[in-house]
Chain A
């Protein structure tokens, strides 16, 4: 669905995006994570044809974002991180306006507006003026706007930012529904745990460069390998047993990954091991770890 090759964006002396390469498959829910200024929004704006890259290519379903912007706009639904709404316009009229911008007929518009309002749970707000909706409702309405032309790829830039936990849960539910509908979703956030709960795969950016790209499991495996092993001995263990355990563990300097050999060696040496495990990874810590150079 999405192929990015060595995508670069330079503003004067500042490199916002540095040779980013990425592939996202059909129907995938892909998370885009990184601290502020990592290059998430720049990438998404390039994909939405709002910004031209300095170098590199990006293609959506084979359509190049620079050479075929019209085709790309047909394939992409974009929800920016910050957006405003029009005053003196009702919710259904807001969607009707954008549906007209996409050139839909009156009958098509009326049908899709009701469906979209239902999808984002705003059917009871149909006649309410947009500027009087809560932030969460506006976010959902904007998401509905991004779906008007039935795009294959949804680009959602921090769609849950500023939402309360209930609104976040609702947004997650809607995203799952979209995934079930077969949409490919690229969603950004600077909160890794939030994305890891719902995404199939993740890309972590920092200072415009790719830090990690792969499945959530792969990220977990990678980070678990680096995590310290916690070993607890039986309460009655004396100092000599601890010394023995320490001697045995010297044979495993800088080991990555849980190793059965380590545990077996300890047991053969008669070390009274009560508990041997790696603690579950803390995604907040992972995020801080992989982006630790953030200024």
Chain B
């Protein structure tokens, strides 16, 4: 099996660029400074105790959320110029007349950007592993956290690549990518209204009768755990699910938005929702890439050469 030439050469060009070195340095530096700031409180304030273990978990949660938003900020721009840039540079035609199909071009571009994102996330691994010192988190949990970030990056990169294949200009593609990510964030929050109502109904049925009803009877399912659509479709709520499933924290934070969530906290399937969110983002990313491949040759029938 040969390496995708688009991937191999784009990566080579990217790594030769000074911009990449700066991006890596600044990203790792931002996470490092943030991590040190969080750790300062946890590790230097007192001797290691059960309290500092809790602090380390909080530090992990905060750093994951910080990295999540840092990725959202960086990723759409990474691929927004991948196809439109080829058009602007007038190199796309040269690629399209080779034996490389449009799907291979899109995948090459995507994997190259994803590779850089993985590199960015991996560069922060030493800082993220600070939380391992207290023993409050396991390495596998941290790795699953980074996997979630990588899948989020994949989905965001896919949004960027679809916009890039649709737009002629990179600037337009970049603007539309950010707007699309923002819109996706808002739209996938819409099921939250239904979710709150659903959770409320479950809560009422559980406690309204004279006799306490078991959650499994109210919610259904063997596990007796409730899965909420918004936590599966919205990447940020998906991350929240993951962090809750890993640390058990954020009950109060969640409760401040919805009392029923606070009450039903123990009956929500956070692990299932987190993995569901990852699966959703992975599948959505794949579909976006397939669509992008269709639009790489948009002018075969249409507009003026």
Chain A residues engaging chain B, CB cutoff 8 angstroms: 11, 14, 16, 41-42, 45, 48-52, 70, 73-74, 76, 78, 80, 82-89, 93, 97-98, 100-103, 142, 145, 149
Contacts and interface: CB of A to CB of B under 8 A. Distances in A.
Contacts of B2: 100, 103
A87 B88 CA distance: 13
Nearest to A145: B94
A34 B144 CA distance: 63
B97 A87 contact: no
Give the interface centre of B94, B97, B305 by most chain A CB atoms within 10 Å: B97
A49 B94 CA distance: 11
B143 interface: no
Contacts, number: 82
A78 B97 contact: yes
Given A85-B89, A145-B94, 11 more contacts: A11-B304, A16-B305, A45-B93, A51-B299, A78-B97, A80-B90, A83-B90, A88-B16, A88-B17, A97-B9, A101-B98
21 contacts: A11-B304, A16-B304, A42-B305, A45-B93, A48-B97, A50-B96, A51-B299, A51-B300, A52-B300, A82-B90, A83-B91, A86-B9, A86-B89, A87-B17, A88-B16, A97-B5, A100-B5, A100-B9, A101-B6, A101-B95, A103-B2
Contact of B99 (A14, A83, A101): A101
B41 interface: no
B194 interface: no
A101 B5 contact: yes
Contact of B12 (A52, A80, A93): A93
B210 interface: no
B138 interface: no
A158 B20 CA distance: 36
Contacts of A149: 98
B89 A73 contact: no
Nearest to B3: A100
Interface of B: 2, 5-6, 8-9, 12-13, 16-17, 88-91, 93-100, 299-305
A73 B16 contact: no
B13 A98 contact: no
Task: Tell me if B's interface is mostly helix, strand, loop or mixed.
Answer: loop
Contacts of A48: 93, 97
Contacts of B305: 16, 41-42, 45, 51
Contact of A80 (B16, B93, B303): B93
A74 B300 CA distance: 19
Contact of B13 (A16, A49, A50, A89): A89
A45 B301 CA distance: 12
Nearest to A54: B301
Contacts of A74: 99
B91 A88 contact: no
Nearest to B6: A101
A11 B96 CA distance: 22
A268 B94 CA distance: 66
Given A48-B97, A70-B99, A73-B97, A86 B13 contact: yes
Contacts of A11: 302-304
A11 B16 CA distance: 42
A99 to B, nearest CB: 9
Nearest to B15: A88
A82 B17 CA distance: 25
A293 B301 CA distance: 29
Nearest to B108: A101
Nearest to A72: B97
Nearest to B100: A101
A82 B302 CA distance: 20
